[in-house]
Amino acid sequence: MFAISPAEVLILLVIWVVPAVVLFFLIYWAVRLAIRHERRRDPSLHERVTAERAAQRREWAQREARRNAAAPDEL
């Protein structure tokens, strides 16, 4: 049948396995770098405005609650 010599095994490793391992680690490194970059990313203008509006709404609701608690019942 087929007898694979050590030289053929070495050639197969060099041709297929080494590039596959290198490609795997390149993709792994790129994904890790992208995740780290996303974590450090500054919020966009839309995210900042949305957060500021939410803070203003909370502040307004607290102010209204204090005013309603301090005002006498009109009934």
The model's pLDDT over 7-61, given as tens digits with 9 standing for 90+, comes to 998 898 889 988 999 999 999 999 999 988 877 778 888 989 999 999 999 999 9
Please report whether residue 50 resides in a domain.
yes
Tokens of 26: 């390149």
> Can you give the residue range of the structural domain that contains 60?
46-70
Please report whether residue 23 resides in a domain.
no
Tokens of 50: 């949305």
DSSP category for residue 37 = H
Say if residue 1's pLDDT is above 70: no
With beta carbons less than 8 A apart as the criterion, state whether 17 and 9 touch: no
The number of domains in the chain is: 1
Distance, C-alpha 13 to centroid of its chain: 36
Confidence of residue 75 (pLDDT cuts 50, 70, 90): low
Please report whether residue 62 resides in a domain.
yes
Please report whether residue 30 resides in a domain.
no
